[in-house]
Amino acid sequence: MTLLLAIVVFSCVFVACQTAPQDQSWTEDVVSYSGFQLWSATPRNKTEREFLLKIRQDYELEVWRESRSDNRPVDLLISPDFQTELKLRLADAQIPYEVKIADMQTEINNENPNITDSGTEFENRFSHKMDWNSYHRVDDIYGYLNYLADTYPRLVQLVSVGSSYEGRPLYVVRISSSSSGTKPAIWIDGGIHAREWISPAVATYIIQQLVEVADNERLLRNVDWYIMPVMNPDGYEYTHVNNRLWRKTRSMTGSRCRGADPNRNFGYQWGGKGTSRDKCSEIYHGSNAFSEPETRAVSNFISGKANQIQVYLTLHSYGQYLLIPWGYAVEYPADYNEMRDLAKAAASKFRRYKYTVGNSADLLYPAAGGSDDWAKSIGIKYSYTVELADTGRHGFILPASFIQPVCEDFFPALEVFVDKVATIKV
Ligand code: 0X9
Ligand code: ZN
């Protein structure tokens, strides 16, 4: 075991730290983040920005959050091997930084309570293991979706839109109070990025609220819902079993590195800014647009319903943003102001967490091949990326105790989208 860990750490230090401890396709190792830290460094001017960029390149650091302007922090995952050296370099350059997470593995170990007991209790009572007190595996999530389809057949339809690279079903839940799908519809997806666990948790919570809470019936009256809680199930499972910080799909690339970034793989402006042709990069765009079975299946399904779907929401983390296209460059759609007004109305519903609304490339960074841009490009007028909580204290490793507050805060905002599209004739 010690030897295995040593191998894992060795492969990280000397091979591919830009991508965190990289894939070990030659064995089913578990990646340890023992000793890894999350640092937040704040450049105050161009010289400091350039210095940080140089450091990122020198040590092939993984970036959790980009700095978008002076005085905005960049979050960096730092291997224990570089910490002493980097402390000195940052001190020399007088760049302020803060250690946000002192030991990533401890943070990971404390993130998700053991779910065995509550799961069994739930299974006995409800024939499923789902709850929103912990993060669940794909089996629990799919078990819950099947339970809903069986229990509420007039309301819920479980559609398999294809299979993932590793053969898992790609499920979309259709929730409709009428048997014919002629109402305007809202699409929500989660789990494009494997490690952003809060996203499938929020997507499943929305499903639960729409289906099982009678009071929310009014949200179904004039609108149909298509909700896909886990778009990248292979990656999601991999984060539970092997590498908590995995982001991409799990497809073979013909190199030692697996997977493409599904949010660089959609067929609009594919291969543009903020993407990489390096198969080991976290933002590898794939061999061609829609090379990944997951993005292909989703795009085929949505294309077939492009006239019905009026709102496209894709759930990510972290940062607390409602991001408006375009994301491929700092460009604004002709109807940007309408899109912004609706997003602002939605954001005004949040009570606990404050979300910033704005253009994606401007607020974050340009990144082409995103699902939001693609949805907009095929005519879905209200297309947004939601970056859920938090703003960086925990980042991707958001403790499970945050699930309920984040979900409860988010759900009321959906009313704003419903009211907007309910009267549209499709
Ligand atoms: O980089 C991304 O794919 C998203 N951020 S994340 O931290 N969740 O990875 C932002 C995507 C915004 N949309 C586009 N650039 N099209
Ligand atoms: Zn994401």
Q: What is the pLDDT of residues 59-107, one digit of tens each?
A: 999 999 998 888 999 999 999 999 999 999 999 999 999 999 999 999 9
pLDDT grade for 121, boundaries at 50, 70 and 90: low
Q: What is the mean pLDDT of residues 2-19?
A: 34
Q: 192 and 329 share a domain? A: yes
Q: Ligand 1 centre and the CA of 51: distance in Å? A: 24
Residues taking part in catalysis: 387
> How many CB atoms sit inside 10 A of residue 416's CB?
17
Q: Ligand 1 centre and the CA of 260: distance in Å? A: 14
Per the CB < 8 A criterion, the answer to whether 195 and 396 are in contact is: yes
261 CA: nearest ligand 1 atom? 3
Q: Give how far the C-alpha of residue 128 lies from the chain's centroid of Cα atoms, to the nearest Å.
A: 24
Q: What are 278-291's pLDDT values in tens digits? A: 999 999 999 999 99
65 CA: nearest ligand 1 atom? 7
Residue 120 lies in a domain: no
pLDDT attached to residue 309: 98
d(CA 378, CA 372): 10
Q: 174 and 215 share a domain? A: yes
The tally of domains found in the chain comes to 2
d(CA 223, CA 416): 12
Q: Ligand 2 centre and the CA of 126: distance in Å? A: 32
Structure tokens, 15: 């091979």
Q: Name the closest ligand to CA 364.
A: 1
Q: For position 84, which CATH number holds?
A: 3.30.70.340
- Helix (H, G, I), strand (E, B), or coil: what is residue 168? coil
Nearest CA to ligand 1 atom 3: 263
Residue 17 lies in a domain: no
Mutation pick for ligand 1 pocket among 385, 388, 390 (CB with most ligand atoms within 8 Å) = 385
d(CA 238, CA 121): 26
Q: Give how far the C-alpha of residue 106 lies from the chain's centroid of Cα atoms, to the nearest Å.
A: 22
Q: 417 and 331 share a domain? A: yes
Closest-CA residue to 388 (of 378, 398, 379, 380): 398
Tokens 């009071």 found at: 215
300: left (phi over 0), alpha (psi -120 to 50) or beta: alpha
- Helix (H, G, I), strand (E, B), or coil: what is residue 161? strand
Ligand 1 pocket residues where CB is under 6 Å: 193, 196, 263, 316, 323, 327, 360, 364, 367, 370, 372-373, 385, 387
Is the C-alpha dihedral spanning 51, 55, 56, 57 positive or negative?
positive
pLDDT attached to residue 69: 85
Q: What are 314-338's pLDDT values in tens digits? A: 999 999 999 999 999 999 999 999 9
pLDDT grade for 5, boundaries at 50, 70 and 90: very low
Over pLDDT 70: what percentage of the chain?
A: 91
Q: Ligand 2 centre and the CA of 196: distance in Å? A: 6
Mutation pick for ligand 1 pocket among 19, 196, 270, 387 (CB with most ligand atoms within 8 Å) = 387
pTM above 0.95, yes or no: no
370 CA: nearest ligand 1 atom? 16
Q: 218 and 99 share a domain? A: no
Statement: residue 119 has pLDDT above 70: no
Q: 99 and 161 share a domain? A: no
Residue 400 contacts by C-beta under 8 Å, 6 or more apart in sequence?
A: 111, 112, 113, 133, 134, 135
For helices 46-58 and 83-92, angle between their N-to-C axes, nearest 10 degrees: 160
Q: What is the mean pLDDT of residues 282-303?
A: 98
Q: 62 and 134 share a domain? A: no
Looking at 110, 145, 161, the residue that finishes a domain is 110
Q: What is the mean pLDDT of residues 106-128?
A: 77
Q: Name the closest ligand to CA 375.
A: 1
Q: 53 and 164 share a domain? A: no
Structure tokens, 337: 């102001």
pLDDT attached to residue 101: 97
Mean pLDDT of the chain: 92
Q: Residue 367: which domain range?
A: 127-423
d(CA 402, CA 227): 22
d(CA 103, CA 5): 16
Statement: residue 19 has pLDDT above 80: no
Q: Give how far the C-alpha of residue 403 lies from the chain's centroid of Cα atoms, to the nearest Å.
A: 14
Nearest CA to ligand 1 atom 14: 327
In the sheet that holds 62-65, the strands lie side by side as 62-65, 74-78, 37-41, 97-101
Q: What are 30-60's pLDDT values in tens digits? A: 999 999 999 999 999 999 999 999 999 999 9
pLDDT attached to residue 28: 65
